[in-house]
Structure 1
């Protein structure tokens, strides 16, 4: 199949969305021919054949470029299917599909459906819901799309996979603790782009200050940095987090790693005891799924998250981790202390979380669902 891939979000940009898009692209390249329209810094390690870059990383200019270049590619390369890598490029995909009578598949994640700007919501209802098929990362996003007029039978929920390296991580926790100097200290970990909705500053100011009173040696590791090239997130959340840490005298209990490479990321997952993502309910923003929960689980690290967006689909409450209500910092505090102190429950959650992640989130199996849908559209 010859596929036109419209991808504003593409490596070397980092994040859960970019990870999913690149895995889809790289794992199906041996079965289909992709003609990818992306932005100028979209470099990959493999051959860049059939990758067309807009030299302006300004979104409106990219959309114009995608429309013109996409039309040229459809006529020149005999494109059979148009694939919009996220909801933000769906308008161009649907216009091209209508003009050239091609099937359109759009992948949606969460924020690319609910982003509250009026003109964007008009675009969702005018174009995105006209896609011939939609792949949603979770049921939460599917429901939001149906509310906006999408036909339920046109939406398939395909949860993302995790990279093979996480499925086979076999680092020894003891040696990693020694390497990083944490030794016998209980370790919490968050891995994310530092968007406001992640709730890290609020967790530190409301929960961690209480946890430290009960578990003085606990240390909270934060891997990630402020989003760059984001259409929706421009706050300096990193500075806000550091301000809260300093205000509460928690310098000994919080360590920032910033953006980390894949090896360091796997080491952090493997040496940590509990993965946390205290996402808060933020109007106009949402956690679509939370792939980092699954990555942590695959390394034997149970998770604690909040009941918002697609997180309840990423965590099996009481089995692979614990879910609390957004803003319930007393509940979050209790959950952390409970897992730190109750070794029997911790071991049960750890074993189940790892088994589930490795059984249900292997890309080798998940990519077959993408392939089947593409073939149906051809």
Structure 2
């Protein structure tokens, strides 16, 4: 039996949804012959590269045009028992493929793809999403947004993202070598991982929490892993310069280190080297955090997360177990628990 996954959100593109769809494909391959209509370069990130039908990844409109044609052809050729759109923006090619082949189809929704403030998306993509036979959502918060957007509750299922537990963790020697490579010495590390969007709240953390933390731990260092997003649904980025400016405003510039994107191996070392992952997400109505996959990735490496209880984040953190949930906007509380 075949399954067809249609998604631009897949490596080599970076982000939580991209990693989630990669894991989804891996799990599907345990039971099915799973085919992927995805971005160029995806064949190097799968177990069966011969089952990848690649499309240009940028701009998004070009991907969707190519994906629509190739998804229709693939659905007719492979006759899948199910077609999955990996996110809301991929619903168009998945829907066309489903119509062309008479195949049931579902959409995996992540929060932002229900409420994004884009007229074209709201007028074209949301009506197509509503036509799906069923929907998967990544959290209880996203489920509420889906119902508010007109999706039928009894055809909607919550499927929390998961991650692979590392078979082995980096050794202490490897962690020390990584610290030495970046001149971190023995400084306590606060880690932030994710794309530099306004929603992640990192600028506000630097302005309102980091100075308080440094009073108690003057050698603490905020290590930022991630870059500005490219061709995302929302353009609300903070920018590296804005982050550095916030650090200069608070006199914390010597306690901020921006590493950009890291390989999976280096990210594993960062998780093991850090004392805590900070996830100070902002509560923005049209730019929601649907889950918080980075928190479970950190937990898989033994690193606790301190986060604001915003959007779907509470679904990703076991409060008092894998981390600590703080009321939204409580920066003194965030600083206290991050110490």
SS in structure 2 at match of 1:44: helix
After superposition, give the CA deviation of every residue in 1:12-32 in whole Å (9 maximum; x if it has no partner).
011111111111113333532
One of 291, 294, 300 as aligned partner of 2:302: 300
SS in structure 2 at match of 1:10: coil
| Whole-angstrom distance in 1 between the partners of 2:191 and 2:168 | 20
Report if the CA contact (8 A) 2:3-2:34 is conserved: yes
Task: Could you tell me which runs of 5 or more consecutive residues in structure 2 were left unpaired when the two chains were aligned.
Answer: none
After superposition, give the CA deviation of every residue in 1:267-322 in whole Å (9 maximum; x if it has no partner).
11111111101111223111111111112222222211112111111122333322
One of 190, 202, 222 as aligned partner of 2:204: 202
Give the equivalent residue in structure 2 for 1:334.
336
| Whole-angstrom distance in 1 between the partners of 2:285 and 2:264 | 32
| Whole-angstrom distance in 2 between the partners of 1:300 and 1:77 | 42
After superposition, give the CA deviation of every residue in 1:230-274 in whole Å (9 maximum; x if it has no partner).
232363521211111223332321111111111211111111111
Report if the CA contact (8 A) 1:177-1:184 is conserved: no
Give the equivalent residue in structure 1 for 2:98.
97
Give the equivalent residue in structure 2 for 1:363.
none
SS in structure 2 at match of 1:281: coil
| Whole-angstrom distance in 2 between the partners of 1:234 and 1:203 | 17
More displaced stretch, 281-290 vs 188-197: 281-290
Give the equivalent residue in structure 2 for 1:138.
139
| Whole-angstrom distance in 1 between the partners of 2:206 and 2:24 | 36
| Whole-angstrom distance in 2 between the partners of 1:22 and 1:13 | 11
Displacement of 1:192:
0.8
Q: TM-score, normalised by structure 2?
A: 0.90
Structure 1 residues 240 and 21: CA distance shift in structure 2, 3 A: same
The question of 1:311 aligning with 2:313 is answered yes
RMSD: 2.3
After superposition, give the CA deviation of every residue in 1:172-224 in whole Å (9 maximum; x if it has no partner).
38846863554543321111111111111111011111221232121111111
Structure 1 residues 308 and 91: CA distance shift in structure 2, 3 A: same
SS in structure 2 at match of 1:280: coil
Task: Could you tell me which runs of 5 or more consecutive residues in structure 1 were left unpaired when the two chains were aligned.
Answer: 341-378
SS in structure 1 at match of 2:209: helix
Give the equivalent residue in structure 1 for 2:229.
227
Give the equivalent residue in structure 2 for 1:323.
325
| Whole-angstrom distance in 2 between the partners of 1:300 and 1:42 | 29
Displacement of 1:98:
3.6
Give the equivalent residue in structure 1 for 2:165.
164
After superposition, give the CA deviation of every residue in 1:147-178 in whole Å (9 maximum; x if it has no partner).
1122222222121111332x642533884686
| Whole-angstrom distance in 1 between the partners of 2:78 and 2:316 | 39
Displacement of 1:103:
0.4
Give the equivalent residue in structure 2 for 1:55.
56
Give the equivalent residue in structure 2 for 1:83.
84
Displacement of 1:116:
2.2
Give the equivalent residue in structure 2 for 1:66.
67
| Whole-angstrom distance in 2 between the partners of 1:56 and 1:253 | 36
Aligned residues: 336
Give the equivalent residue in structure 1 for 2:14.
14
SS in structure 1 at match of 2:254: coil
More displaced stretch, 77-86 vs 5-14: 77-86
Give the equivalent residue in structure 1 for 2:117.
116
Displacement of 1:43:
4.0
SS in structure 1 at match of 2:44: coil
Report if the CA contact (8 A) 2:139-2:158 is conserved: yes
The question of 1:151 aligning with 2:146 is answered no
More displaced stretch, 320-329 vs 279-288: 320-329
More displaced stretch, 61-70 vs 104-113: 61-70
Give the equivalent residue in structure 1 for 2:284.
282
| Whole-angstrom distance in 2 between the partners of 1:73 and 1:300 | 41
Displacement of 1:52:
2.1
SS in structure 2 at match of 1:37: strand
| Whole-angstrom distance in 2 between the partners of 1:290 and 1:314 | 6
After superposition, give the CA deviation of every residue in 1:71-124 in whole Å (9 maximum; x if it has no partner).
222223323321111111113323432443210021111111221223322345
